[in-house]
Structure 1
Amino acid sequence: MIKYLVTVILCLALTGVKAQVATGPAPKNIQSPQVSKDGMVTFRFLAPNAQKVMLIMDDLKPRPMVKDTGGVWSFSANFAPDIYRYTFSVDGNVLPDPNNPYIKPLFKRALAQSLAYVPGPAELSWELKDVPHGVLSQHFFRSKIVGDDRDMRVYTPPGYDPKRKEPYPVLYLFHGLTDETSAWVTAGRENIIMDNLIAEGKAKPMIIINTLGYGAPEMFEPGTGQRTKEAYKKNEELFMAELFKEAIPMVEKLYNVGKTKKYRAVAGLSMGGAQTLDAGLNNPDVFDYVGSFSPAIILLDPDLDKAFPNLNESVNKKLKLVWIGIGKDDYLAPALRKYVDWLKTKNIKFQYKETEGVHSYQVWRRYLTEFAPLLFK
C-alpha cells in the first residue's frame, strides 16, 4: 500500500513560534508583527500605492490600518497571551505578512495565514517549557482510494519505544476546511501541548495522527467552480474510506499501537469536528473516545437521520466519552445547538460546553488541553 516513506523531523515545530522578527532583510527594516512585553502588538505592511489596507484576524472583523509618510501601513493594539492567525487585505487582495516567516499553510494554495505569538505565563499549555519533547514525523504515501499522493503527520511521545510490551494509544486528530496536515502543529501546537501534559502527568503518553481530511481534493483545484453539496458528500465518503482502509492500517503497521478500540480516540476541529462525529458515532466499535471541536455540521447531510443512520442509545454502552465544544460567538454555533438537541432526542450521552471565543485556535488549543487528559483512563 505504501509506495514510499519519508520521515522528517520538524525542528521548527518543537520550538514553536517564539520569535516574531524575520531573520532576513526586509524593506525599510519593517518589523511585523512587533510584540512588546505588555502585549502591545503592531502589525505593518509596506504598500505605498494602496488605497486601503485592513488587518483580518480570527473574528473576521476588518481592522483599518493607517499609512505613514513612508508608505507603511500599521495597526497596534493590546492582545492577551496567545497565538493569532492574521492576513492583510490590500485593496481587496488577501495576503499573508511578508515580513513574518511563521505561517499556517493552506491546502493547495501558495498563500497562507500568518501567526502572531504573544508570550504568556508558563501555565498556558502551549508555552514551550524545559520538558522532554516528542518527535514529529511526516509520511508520504499513495492513496488508492482517493487516487492521489498525500501525507500524514505523526507525533510520538517522549521516550517512544517501538518494542514496548504495552502498545501505545492513538488519537486521530483532524484539521479544518482549507487546512492541511501541519495545521495542528503550526497553529494548534499539539506537540508542545502534549509534551507539557505528559510531563505534568496529566495525560497518558499517546501517539497523535494528523491525516489529510480530503476525499475529494479536486475541490480545491483552480477553475473547478463552487464546492457543491455533491462534492462535499463525495469528500466525506472517500475520506472515511481512506481513514478506515488506508490510514488506520498504515499506522498500525508502522507504529507500536493498540489495535482495538480501547486504544483509539478521534477528535477534530471545524470540518474535522464534523468528520469526528461521523467517524466516531457511526463506528462505535472502532473508537472509545470522540472529541468534536466547533464541528461544521453544515458539511454533513442535513437529514441527520441519514448522516447517522444507526445511531441510538446503544452507543452509550460502547463509547466511553463523547465530548463536544464550541465558542459562543462561533458562526457555527446555531447549527451545532440544533445538532445537540437532535442528539438528545436519540438519548445519546455526551458532554457539551460553550466557551468564550470565535472559530479559532484560541478555542481549539484549550479544548485539546482539556480533552487529552480524559483519554485512555
Structure 2
Amino acid sequence: MLKSLLKHNLSIIYLFLCVIQAADIVAQTIPATPVQKNIQSPEVDKFGAVTFRFLAPNAKKVMLIMDDAKPRKMSIDTAGVWSYLETFAPDVYRYSFVVDGNNMPDPNNPYIKPLFKRALGQSLVHVPGPSTLSWEVNDVPHGVLSQHFFRSAIIGDQRDMRVYTPPGYDPKRPEPYPVLYLFHGITDETSAWVTAGRENIIMDNLIAQGKAKPMIIVNTLGYGAPEMFDPGSGVRNKQSYEKNERLFVAATLKEVIPMVEGFYNVGKTKKYRAVAGLSMGGGQSLDIGLNHPDVFDYVGGFSPAVILLDPDYTKAFPKLDESINQKLRLIWIAIGRDDYLTPSVRKYIEWLKTKNISFEYKESDGVHSYQVWRRYLSEFTPLLFK
C-alpha cells in the first residue's frame, strides 16, 4: 500500500513539474518585442469586454493564453493585427500571446507580473468592478510598500524582500504590530503578491472597513536553491526542491524574521506572527507553520503545493499530532475545485484528519489562479490577530 501511494505521489510531483516547465515557456529567451505603434492592447470597455491585439503580419498562428490555460485562437485582419474579443467578470487576469510557438507578454501593455530570473513576464489586464471588491482601489488611507535588499548567508546570494506597512504605521507605537509572512508561488518573485495579488490594495480596504487589524505583510523570496532556475542548469528535480525547501525555511526563520523584527515595530512572540502562501508558497507555509508552532500562531495555505514536500507526510511533519490544536490559533487551507492540485490537497486533508488536527478547509470555484488567491487573502486576513 505504501509503495503504491509513494508511486502515485511521485507521479503527481512529475505532473506538477511538467506544468511548471510549461509555464516557463513564458520566459523563453526570445528577443523582446518593442511597443507596436498605434496598437491598443488590451482595450477594456465599460461592460467588461476586452480586446487583445498583437501586430504580427508574418505570423502563421497567434493564440491567447490566460489563467485557465485554454488556448484562445486569435484572428488576423488585413493590416496584420491579430485580435481576440471576450467579456470577462470584474477581476485581474494574467495572459500572454503564443506566436508561432513562442510565448511572450503583450508588448503594448506595461502592466506586468515579473518572473524570477527571466527577462519576460506575464501581462495583466484589469477589468474594473464595483468598489465592494476588495482589490479595487478606493478613497481610503493607503499603506506603504518598501523593498529591502540583503545578503543571505544561509543561501549564499543577494536577495530582496517586500514589506507592506499599514496606513499610519507608527514605529513608536506602544503596541507592536503583528506580521503576516506571505509567500509567492513558483516562477514568481517577491513583487507577485503586489502586482497580481494586489495585497496592498486589499489590506488598505480591509483595514479601512475595520475588517482586518492593521498589520505588516512581508513577501520574501521563496527560493532556497535559486540556481535551479539558471538556464541549462538541469537541476530542477526532486533533490533540488528538497534543498530549496530546507534552505528557504532556515533562511526565513534565522534571517528574514530577525531582520523584520529589527527594522520594524513588530511583536517578537508567536501571537504576533502568521504565515501563509499560494501554490509553492502554500506548501512552504504549511511546512514552516505546522513544524514550528512555537514561532507562528496562524497558518494558511492557498492552493498549497504539498506535492513538493516529502510524499510521506509523517517525514514532512514528524512531530505533528493533535497537541498542535492547543498551540496554533488557526490552520486555514483553501483551493479551487478545478485546480490541478486539488486531488493532492484533498489527500493531504484526509491525512490531517487521521492525525486529529483541527483546521478550516474550503473549496471554491476556480482554477490555479490569482482570482481565487486574492479572495482567499481577503477572507484569511480578517481572521488574524483577533
Query: Smaller-chain TM-score range?
Result: over 0.9
Q: After TM superposition, list the pairs within 5 Å mapping 1:101-140 onto structure 2.
A: 101-140=110-149
In the alignment, what sits opposite 1:239?
Answer: 248
**1: CA distance, partners of 2:105 / 2:99:** 10
In the alignment, what sits opposite 1:195?
Answer: 204
In the alignment, what sits opposite 1:169?
Answer: 178
2:120 aligned partner, one-letter code: L
In the alignment, what sits opposite 1:156?
Answer: 165
Alignment deviations for residues 66-89 of structure 1 (CA, whole Å, 9 cap, x no partner): 011111111100000000000111
In the alignment, what sits opposite 1:66?
Answer: 75
Q: After TM superposition, list the pairs within 5 Å mapping 1:213-362 onto structure 2.
A: 213-362=222-371
Unaligned segments of structure 2, at least 5 residues = 1-33
**2: CA distance, partners of 1:61 / 1:305:** 37
Shift, 1:251, TM fit:
0.3
Name the SS of the counterpart of 2:93 in structure 1. Answer: strand
Alignment deviations for residues 302-350 of structure 1 (CA, whole Å, 9 cap, x no partner): 1111100110000000000000000000000000000000000000000
Alignment deviations for residues 218-273 of structure 1 (CA, whole Å, 9 cap, x no partner): 00001101510000000000000000000000000000000000000000000000
Work out whether residues 306 and 345 of structure 2, in 8 Å CA contact, stay in contact via their aligned partners in 1: yes
2:196 aligned partner, one-letter code: A
**2: CA distance, partners of 1:59 / 1:225:** 28
1:311 aligned partner, one-letter code: L
1:77 aligned partner, one-letter code: E
Q: After TM superposition, list the pairs within 5 Å mapping 1:85-96 onto structure 2.
A: 85-96=94-105
- Once the two structures are overlaid, the 10-residue window that deviates more, 295-304 or 140-149, is 295-304
Aligned CA-pair RMSD: 0.8
**1: CA distance, partners of 2:327 / 2:41:** 50
Query: Would you say how many aligned residue pairs link Structure 1 and Structure 2?
Result: 353
**2: CA distance, partners of 1:89 / 1:106:** 17
Name the SS of the counterpart of 1:29 in structure 2. Answer: coil
Larger helix share, 1 or 2: 2
Q: Does 1:44 align with 2:50?
A: no
Work out whether residues 171 and 264 of structure 2, in 8 Å CA contact, stay in contact via their aligned partners in 1: yes
Work out whether residues 36 and 107 of structure 2, in 8 Å CA contact, stay in contact via their aligned partners in 1: no
| Aligned-residue identity in percent | 78
In the alignment, what sits opposite 2:3?
Answer: none
**1: CA distance, partners of 2:93 / 2:250:** 34
Name the SS of the counterpart of 2:205 in structure 1. Answer: helix
Name the SS of the counterpart of 2:257 in structure 1. Answer: helix
TM-score (norm 2): 0.91
In the alignment, what sits opposite 2:195?
Answer: 186
In the alignment, what sits opposite 1:370?
Answer: 379
**2: CA distance, partners of 1:302 / 1:143:** 29
Match of 1:100 among 91, 109, 118: 109
**1: CA distance, partners of 2:243 / 2:265:** 32
Name the SS of the counterpart of 2:332 in structure 1. Answer: strand
Shift, 1:160, TM fit:
0.4
1:268 aligned partner, one-letter code: G
Shift, 1:28, TM fit:
4.3
**1: CA distance, partners of 2:312 / 2:70:** 32
**2: CA distance, partners of 1:297 / 1:72:** 43
2:111 aligned partner, one-letter code: Y
**1: CA distance, partners of 2:202 / 2:231:** 36
2:247 aligned partner, one-letter code: L
Name the SS of the counterpart of 2:251 in structure 1. Answer: helix
**1: CA distance, partners of 2:218 / 2:206:** 17
Match of 2:216 among 207, 210, 218: 207
**2: CA distance, partners of 1:246 / 1:62:** 42
**1: CA distance, partners of 2:82 / 2:317:** 50
**1: CA distance, partners of 2:54 / 2:140:** 37
Alignment deviations for residues 79-131 of structure 1 (CA, whole Å, 9 cap, x no partner): 00000000111111110000000000000000000000000001000000000
Shift, 1:298, TM fit:
1.1
**1: CA distance, partners of 2:51 / 2:186:** 29
**1: CA distance, partners of 2:78 / 2:230:** 41
